[in-house]
Amino acid sequence: MLGGLVIAVLVVLTVSPRHRAFYLGHLGGGGETVATEGGDAAPAGRAGRARRMARTTVRVTVPTQDAEGRVRVPVADVMPALLPADGVPLGWDLKEFAGGKPDVDLVRADGRVALRLRSESSSFALYRDVVIDPAVQPHLAWSWKVTKLPVDGDARDPQRNDQAIGVYIVFPRWPSPITTSEAIGYVWDSAAPVGTVVALPKAPNVRLVVVASGTHGVGQWHSYERDVVKDYTELFGTAPGRVGKLAVMTDADNTRGIGEALVTDLLFHRR
């Protein structure tokens, strides 16, 4: 399913006017006006939690750099009045690959607002537009907490390639982004050792990099920082182009298990 994720994201890129403009030299700030539904959450408890809908209109924008040259990618463009709040947060899009209904919500955990993703014999991703020039913001930083690993997952085996959480960055290449774009996925794997690099058989332009492995540290927050330029150069043998998409994914369909994790805002920043 991981190959399917990247192919699906690249299909989205081919029909995105925002990215066509971006790759002709526009560096962000674009947006679109959308109607969304939001409101108070019902009383706590998974069985009873639901949104009471109220129509609102907001402007969704691509994250842009601040005065310090950082680009923060928030877990939600508009924060609900009450947490937890079920559903895909504003600013993100959902792609389902296998299994039942995606389990996604915004929660407050350990003093942090986080995006929680749970897959149960299923596979899905949330993705969004970003406009990042790695020459300007070469570093990606994020924090996540895994609460449940797919027991038999192993990125090295295509039949067991499931992970509780992964952060993916896509480098579109025009005019044929589906066949020529590259992607890097930073994953927490159940078995493959840290540092393992996996090229997906069905998506040879994708590389998985294992940044955490096994049960050690499950239930705790962990922070990461990757030099995207360094990683890309080592993985693909050339300097990267611009980043056009960012995705977070949970995947437990191959092993018919459960994966669950939380992730906070992601940050691209200078050296």
Q: Give me the DSSP letters along 164-204.
A: EEEEEEEE--SS-HHHH-EEEEEEEESSSPTT-EEEETTEE
**pLDDT, average across residues 18-25:** 47
> Which tokens belong to 201?
């058989």
pTM of the model: 0.83
Residue type, 101: K
Q: What is the pLDDT of residue 3?
A: 54
Q: What is the pLDDT of residue 157?
A: 95
Q: What is the pLDDT of residue 30?
A: 44
Residue among 259, 269, 243, 227 at smallest CA distance from 127: 243
> Which tokens belong to 230?
């360094």
Query: What distance in Å separates the CA atoms of residue 58 and residue 100, rounded to the nearest whole number?
Result: 30
Asked if 129 and 153 count as a contact pair (C-beta separation under 8 A), the reply is: no
pLDDT tens digits, residue range 78-94?
999 999 999 999 999 99
Asked if 245 and 229 count as a contact pair (C-beta separation under 8 A), the reply is: no
Domains of the chain: 2-40+53-269 (2.60.120.430)
pLDDT tens digits, residue range 231-267?
999 999 999 999 999 999 999 999 999 999 999 999 9
pLDDT tens digits, residue range 121-163?
999 999 999 999 999 999 999 999 999 999 999 999 999 999 9
Q: What is the pLDDT of residue 18?
A: 52
pLDDT tens digits, residue range 45-102?
444 444 433 344 455 578 988 989 999 999 999 999 999 999 999 999 999 888 778 8
Q: Tell me the pLDDT band of 29, cut-offs 50, 70 and 90.
A: very low
> Which tokens belong to 244?
């056009």
Q: What is the pLDDT of residue 61?
A: 75
Q: What is the pLDDT of residue 7?
A: 57
Q: What is the pLDDT of residue 225?
A: 98
pLDDT tens digits, residue range 188-240?
999 999 999 999 888 888 999 999 999 999 999 999 999 999 999 999 999 99
- 70: number of Cβ within 10 Å: 15
DSSP conformation class of 82: S
In this structure, what is the dihedral angle of CA atoms 22, 24, 27, 33, given to the nearest 10 degrees?
Answer: -40
- 67: number of Cβ within 10 Å: 5
For 239-260, b/e burial (b = at least 16 CB within 10 A) is ebbbbbbbbbbbbbbbbebbbb
> Which tokens belong to 128?
């969004």
